[in-house]
Amino acid sequence: MLKILQSAQDLMISGGYHNLTLRKVAAGAGISVGNLNYYYSNKQDLLRDLLDTVIAAYIAEFDNVRQDAGVSLEDQFIAIVRFIIDDLGTQATTNFFPELWALANHDEHAAERMDALYTKARLVLNDLIASLNPALSDQSREQVALFISASMEGLTP
């Protein structure tokens, strides 16, 4: 199944969502369309798993970055911000996420998945902000995390 998801991600990066067809995904994964249909009967199910896999990889990487940064919460925060900004400079990110944003504008399912993806990604920032400034209310902390996240995401184009 990992080959299927990698094929789907590669197609999104190289040619956009309109390039993502079950036939092309199957070809990229080296399987038949029939085999692909065993796992995914439609593009929405494939997209759901693709987004879940992408965010899980980011969350795992956030954990690694924090661990590598050491015990200082400030160092962890800076390392996470640097990781995100560096990631925003990659072709994979600058091609993949704008495609998803465009899709989310007219596909309710994609919009829900994107919202879930960003909510999970901001949890890392929320956690660090809460540790760095425990006096902040939950709402203030979430607003700061949203501002930081949105500021960095603005670098994508």
Q: What is the pLDDT, as a whole number, of residue 83? A: 93
Mean pLDDT by runs of 10 across the 157 residues of the chain is 95 91 96 95 90 88 94 95 90 88 87 83 91 95 91 73
Q: What is the CATH number of domain 44-153?
A: 1.10.357.10
Q: Which long-range contacts (CB under 8 A, 24 or more apart) does 127-136 make?
A: 128/73, 128/76, 128/77, 128/80, 129/77, 131/73, 132/73, 132/74, 132/77
Q: What is the pLDDT, as a whole number, of residue 140? A: 95
Q: What is the pLDDT, as a whole number, of residue 138? A: 94
Distances (CA, A) of 135 to 110, 130, 138, 139, 141: 36, 8, 9, 11, 9
Distance between start and end Cα atoms, the chain = 31
* Domain layout of the chain by residue ranges: 44-153
